[in-house]
Amino acid sequence: MDAITLLTADHNRVRGLFKRFQTAEEKDKTEEMAKLAELIFEQLTVHTSIEESTFYPAVKKQSDDIKDTVDEGLEEHMVAKRLIDECQSVETGSDQWKAKMKVLIESVEHHADEEETEMFPKVRSAFQGDGLERLGQALEQEKKKLGAPVLADAIDLTKEELAAKASEQEIPGRSKMDHEQLAATVDPRF
């Protein structure tokens, strides 16, 4: 799978967690919020790490324009990491924690949208041949090293199983995804 499709799958997996977090907050389910927050931190840490170690260095060489969006992306990653640290340093479930979680979610939503609308289209047109597929393989290897689930862990599930998980995990856009996209997006551990 190409690098952009894989990274977009990560974004949608996290968007699902955000949605579930917000629902848990509306229902005042603090334990559920705490559980989802841990998953959000884990997913964001893996995702920013593979972008920084593998995707950003490979794409910023393509053009000055892409390099500018990568530089902005790196700054936004730093903001997200700082917010994660802050969330982890205050009492889980407190009003301050909820406020920090809200800012983290808003900031990551903005960052992911910007990558998808500004950075990824430029990257897609800059790469030729199987360049993006190879970059996708490198991202998967990095994920594996970090102990995170990869596409291969979910690809053998049936379309029905994948669709059920995608629905439970509140994955946005799931009805339009094919088998491979669903397998890349769902978290097979749950």
Q: Which residues bind Fe ion (CB under 5 A)?
A: 51, 73, 115
Which single residue is written with the structure tokens 């390099």?
67
Nearest approach, Cβ of residue 76 and Fe ion (Å): 7
Q: Minimum distance from CB of 119 to Fe ion (Å)? A: 8
In the complex, least distance from residue 52 CB atom to Fe ion, rounded to whole angstroms: 8
> What's the CA gap between 37 and 89, in Å, rounded?
13
Report residue 45 as tokens.
């840490």
Cβ pair 154, 183 in contact under 8 A? yes
- Give me the least distance between CB of 121 and Fe ion, in Å please: 14
Choice between 56 and 97, CB closer to Fe ion: 56
| Alpha-carbon dihedral 159, 121, 119, 149, rounded to 10 degrees | 20
What are the b/e assignments for 9-42, b being 16+ CB within 10 Å? bbbbbbbbbbbbbbebbeeeeeeebeebbebbbe
**Which tokens is 105 given?**
């979610």
Closer to Fe ion by CB, 23 or 45: give it.
45
- Identify which of residues 18 and 97 has a Cβ nearer to Fe ion in the complex: 18
Please report how close the Cβ of residue 57 comes to Fe ion at its closest, in angstroms: 13
- 115 or 187: CB nearest Fe ion: 115
Q: Which is nearer to Fe ion, 50 or 163 (CB)?
A: 50
